[in-house]
Amino acid sequence: MQSFLVEVKLNTINNLKRDKIMLSKQFSGIHIEAFYTKHYIPKYNLNDGETEIYIPDFILEENLKEDYDIKLKYNTYKYNSFLDYVQDKYDVLYYEAKELLEEDCLMYNWVYEPRIYDEAIAHLCNLIPFEIQNEDEDLQLLSFGGCGMDFTYKLEAYQLLADGSYDERSNFAEKGIAYFEYYYGKDSEVVKEINKLLLNKKVA
C-alpha cells in the first residue's frame, strides 16, 4: 500500500514536470514579514466611549493655519502653541476642525498598520497617521484620508521613504519614478525625497 502511494506521488510530480505547469510568485508573509497589515475599521466600534483616536497635533495645526484670519491674529508671546491659541479663542472652530480631520481619517473602512510608523513621512505622502487606543490595543495606523480612487501610490511611496524597500510586484517596480510623478507631480516634495533616496540607493 505504501509503495503504491509513493508511486502515485512520483507520477504526479513527473506529470507536473512534463506538462510544464508554471507557478506564480505570491508573497505569503510566512518567511518575510509583510510591511503592511490591513485593518477593518468598523470592527473597532470607535463610538463605544472606550476607544480613543489620536491624530498628531502638527496635522491639525496645519489644517487650522490654512484659515488666514486665525493665522493673522496669532500672538506667539501669549500662548505656548498655535493650537493653544485656537482652542482658547476659537473653541468651536478647533473642535470642528478636529472632528473633520477624524472623519477624513475614517472615511475609508480599511486602514494600514506599517511595520515602521513615521508620522512626518506619512503626512508627506498625503496619508493621515493616527493611533487607536483602548485597554486591549494600541495601534499605529495610516489612513488614505479619502476614498473613491486607487490610493496605492501613497502606500508605495511611504514604504520607500520609511523603509527604503518596495514590493517587486508594485507599480513602482514596473513604472519607476514616473509612477509617483503622475500622481504627486514632478515638483512635489514627496517626489523630490524619493529621487534623493534613489540616488543614494541602488534599486535591486
Where do the structural domains in the chain lie, given as residue ranges? 28-200
- pLDDT reading at 92 higher than 70: yes
The cell numbers describing 16, all together, are 507536473
How many CB atoms lie under 10 A from the CB of residue 111?
23
Percent of the chain with pLDDT over 70: 82
The contacts of residue 41 (CB under 8 Å, 6+ apart) are 106, 108, 109, 110, 111
State the DSSP code for 3.
H
Q: In the chain, where does DSSP find H-type helix?
A: 2-19, 57-65, 68-73, 82-89, 91-105, 119-124, 152-163, 171-175, 178-184, 189-200
Quick check: 142 and 112 in contact, CB under 8 A?
yes
Strand partners, 40: 110
Classified as helix, coil or strand, 145 is: coil
Q: What is the mean pLDDT of residues 78-95?
A: 90
> Which pLDDT does position 6 carry in this prediction?
43
> Which pLDDT does position 21 carry in this prediction?
53
> Which pLDDT does position 46 carry in this prediction?
76
Mean pLDDT of the chain: 84
Query: Of residues 34 and 13, which shows the higher confidence score?
Result: 34
Confidence of residue 12 (pLDDT cuts 50, 70, 90): very low
Round to whole Å and give the CA distance between 57 and 65.
Answer: 12
Round to whole Å and give the CA distance between 198 and 204.
Answer: 11
